[in-house]
């Protein structure tokens, strides 16, 4: 049975709430951002699935919390692209195959692929949802009021700036894009400590980073760079003992990653008298003076 509801999806009595997502690990504006804030562990797991290439259109991922279950439903591949009815239909087909086995007995849907996705609910989405969901022997709540003034793929610059304001959550797909842009403009670098010159460039097949230094060539695979970013993102710092297996390459990665506006080199040591270790750190949002001035010391109340 389908029941249309005017109201807030997060206040639904349904056991399971549907979150419309992309497959690159970004929960940007609107409802997805609220899901990210309410279920931070769900977001981390979702982002990891995307970075590993294990979450695609036509697949669904169910996250169970003590309060609600969240069904992550891809309606677009990249946040920069609009949704497609074929993606919505693929997800609905998957839902009717798995809902019973997954123990879903009531579910609340937003208008799939609308808002940021820019599909029309009346003519494109509602017919699909009714076709697949109406025959089901469970309670289906649809919350059709989803209007967004901010369309992600039509506001690319603003969206990129917003994502990079929180680097501790930034998916590697965005970091790789930034690294590609950096290396398109600059290929010559020098290590921080020894000032040894080297060159670096992006390689597409196999995907990764090629470094040439002192007549030696090193290749760092995309997957290794992904793991390196995940460690940096998780710890906030990256040094030799945090990035095992990259002992030699780390001295080259530091000046490259330091070109990103949200990463900086840092000198650390276990001894107060001698700072001998060079690493990387993620810059928190509040480090920027403009942002810091907006943070109150006390909150009235």
* Rounded Cα distance, 72 and 161, in Å: 25
Contact 142, 111 (CB under 8 A): yes
- Whose structure tokens read 């010391």? 297
Q: Considering just the CA atoms, what is the radius of gyration of the chain in Å?
A: 23
Which tokens is 220 given? 């760092």
**Residue 296 included in any domain:** no
Q: What are phi and psi of 201, to 5 degrees?
A: -150, 155
Q: Whose CA is closest to 57, among 121, 117, 103, 104?
A: 117
**Residue 29 included in any domain:** yes
Sequential pLDDT tens for the chain (301 residues):
899 998 888 889 899 999 999 999 988 777 888 898 889 999 999 999 999 999 999 999 999 988 899 999 999 998 878 889 999 999 999 999 999 999 999 999 999 988 777 788 989 999 999 999 999 999 999 998 755 444 444 455 665 675 677 787 888 988 999 999 999 999 999 998 889 999 999 999 999 999 999 889 999 999 999 988 988 888 787 765 555 566 678 889 999 999 999 998 887 766 666 655 578 888 865 445 444 333 343 433 3
**7 CB-near residues (< 8 Å, 6+ apart):** 143, 145
- 221 and 150, same domain (yes or no): no
**Residue 140 included in any domain:** yes
- 22 and 70, same domain (yes or no): yes
Cα 71 to chain centroid distance, Å, stands at 17
* Rounded Cα distance, 82 and 230, in Å: 28
The domain in which residue 264 lies consists of 165-290
pLDDT at position 194, please?
85
**189 CB-near residues (< 8 Å, 6+ apart):** 197, 198, 199, 200, 252, 255, 256
**What is the count of structural domains for the chain?**
2
**190 CB-near residues (< 8 Å, 6+ apart):** 196, 197, 198, 255
- Domain CATH for 109: 3.40.220.10
- 224 and 125, same domain (yes or no): no
Question: Helix crossing, 172-185 with 247-257: angle to 10°?
Answer: 80
- 12 and 133, same domain (yes or no): yes
pLDDT at position 301, please?
36
- 93 and 185, same domain (yes or no): no
pLDDT at position 274, please?
60
- 17 and 93, same domain (yes or no): yes
Q: What are phi and psi of 52, to 5 degrees?
A: -85, 0
Tell me which residues are annotated as active site.
76
pLDDT at position 7, please?
85
Contact 26, 79 (CB under 8 A): yes
What three-state secondary structure class fits 280? Answer: strand
pLDDT at position 287, please?
43
- 9 and 154, same domain (yes or no): yes
Q: What is the pTM of this model?
A: 0.69
Q: Among residues 159, 184, 219, which one ends one of the domains?
A: 159
pLDDT at position 169, please?
81
- 154 and 174, same domain (yes or no): no
Q: Among residues 97, 124, 159, which one ends one of the domains?
A: 159
């Amino acid at each position: 049975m389908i029941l249309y509801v005017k109201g807030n999806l997060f206040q639904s009595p349904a056991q399971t709430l549907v979150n419309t997502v992309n497959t690159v690990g970004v929960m940007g504006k609107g409802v997805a951002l609220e899901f990210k804030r309410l279920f931070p562990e769900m977001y981390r797991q979702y982002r990891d699935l995307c970075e590993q290439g294990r979450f695609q259109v036509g697949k669904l991922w169910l996250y169970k919390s003590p309060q609600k279950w969240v069904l992550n439903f891809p309606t677009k591949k990249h946040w920069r692209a609009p949704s497609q009815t074929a993606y919505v239909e693929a997800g609905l087909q998957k839902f009717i195959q798995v809902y019973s086995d997954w123990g879903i007995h009531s579910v609340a849907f937003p208008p799939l692929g609308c808002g940021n996705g820019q599909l029309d609910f009346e003519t494109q989405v509602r017919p699909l949802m009714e076709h697949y969901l109406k025959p089901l022997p469970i309670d289906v709540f649809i919350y059709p009021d989803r209007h967004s003034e901010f369309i992600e793929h039509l506001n690319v610059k603003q969206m990129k700036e917003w994502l990079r304001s929180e680097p501790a959550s930034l998916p590697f797909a965005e970091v790789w894009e930034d690294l590609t842009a950096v290396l398109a403009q600059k290929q010559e670098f020098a290590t921080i400590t020894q000032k040894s010159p080297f060159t670096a460039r992006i390689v597409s097949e196999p995907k990764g980073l090629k470094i040439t230094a002192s007549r030696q060539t090193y290749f760092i695979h995309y997957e290794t760079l992904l793991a390196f970013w995940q460690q940096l993102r998780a710890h906030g710092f990256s040094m030799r003992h945090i990035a095992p297996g990259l002992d030699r390459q780390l001295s080259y990665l530091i000046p490259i990653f330091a070109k990103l506006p949200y990463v900086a080199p840092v000198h650390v040591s276990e001894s107060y008298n001698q700072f001998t270790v060079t690493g990387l750190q993620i810059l928190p949002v509040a480090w920027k003076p403009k942002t810091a001035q907006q943070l109150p010391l006390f909150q009235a109340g």
